[in-house]
Amino acid sequence: GEDVEQSLFLSVREGDSSVINCTYTDSSSTYLYWYKQEPGAGLQLLTYIFSNMDMKQDQRLTVLLNKKDKHLSLRIADTQTGDSAIYFCAESGAGGTSYGKLTFGQGTILTVHP
Amino acid sequence: GAVVSQHPSWVICKSGTSVKIECRSLDFQATTMFWYRQFPKQSLMLMATSNEGSKATYEQGVEKDKFLINHASLTLSTLTVTSAHPEDSSFYICSASPREGRQETQYFGPGTRLLVL
């Protein structure tokens, strides 16, 4: 089945950039997502990228996709303490029975130090 | 923006009782709703896909008689944990896709924390 892997922890200083990495195995993935989860809360969609794109930028967030290596990254510029949370990478299938179903990575705990 | 609510936000129950969790799309109609569970410090695992007016599709390893899902309307899906046991304690999260939306649009509820004593 599909598999999504992330590093578990990332610690950065306030003001620095954060880069969270993700690898996936399903070559038929159509969309790849980044979600943010704060303690005790549900998931907030940060951004997503269609599989035929290489890059997407949205304010402080930059998503890079290397489809050949099945590698996705999320860069947060000027990281703030409010960015401390768990970040999940997810992918969705091509259609049919996989339509809309998301496979999540384990989540990366981002800690931002003042 | 699209809002999904869950009720209750947390529940504590005795072993053997049944617990119902509601998932509502507040400002859009959802053809499809998804139910996930999340154990502490772990990722979300899809339990089932719920389509309005039809039976839910369960993921492998999820007991459909244990986790009853009903999607009676385009704005409401319910998950009932029957005869709950301590190992069912978890964080249950639903998500909803708008009826007219595109595949990439899926809105998550805030989650329901279940503790079975």
- Which of A41, A95, A101 minimises the CB distance to B46? A101
Asked whether the predicted pLDDT for residue A2 surpasses 70, the reply is no
Q: Which residue of B has its CA nearest to A100?
A: B103
Asked whether the predicted pLDDT for residue B14 surpasses 70, the reply is yes
In this prediction, residue A18 carries a pLDDT of: 97
Asked whether the predicted pLDDT for residue A108 surpasses 70, the reply is yes
How many alpha carbons lie under 13 Å from residue B102 in its C-beta half-sphere? 5
Q: Do A42 and B42 touch (CB under 8 A)?
A: no
State both tokens at B114: 């279940």
Mean of pLDDT values over A29-53: 88
Amino acid at B83: S
Q: Give chain A positions within 8 Å (CB) of B104.
A: 31, 33, 48, 50, 92
Burial letters B90-112, b for 16+ CB under 10 A, else e: bbbbbbbbbeebeebbbbbbbbb
Mean of pLDDT values over A20-41: 88
Q: Give chain A positions within 8 Å (CB) of B95.
A: 43, 102
Q: Which helix (H) or strand (E) holds A29?
A: none
Per-residue pLDDT tens over the stretch B1-12: 678 999 999 999
Asked whether the predicted pLDDT for residue B39 surpasses 80, the reply is yes
Alpha carbon separation from A13 to A53, A80, A86, B76, B111 (Å, rounded): 30, 8, 16, 43, 30
In this prediction, residue B41 carries a pLDDT of: 75
* Percent of the residues in chain A that have a pLDDT greater than 90, as a whole number: 65
pLDDT-derived band of residue A34, with 50, 70 and 90 as boundaries? very high
Query: Rounded CA gap, B92 and A42, in Å?
Result: 9
Asked whether the predicted pLDDT for residue A95 surpasses 80, the reply is no
pLDDT-derived band of residue A1, with 50, 70 and 90 as boundaries? low
CB-based contacts of A94: which residues, under 8 Å, 6+ apart? A28, A29, A30
Mean of pLDDT values over A8-13: 95
Per-residue pLDDT tens over the stretch B60-116: 999 999 999 998 899 999 999 999 999 999 999 999 988 665 656 788 999 999 999
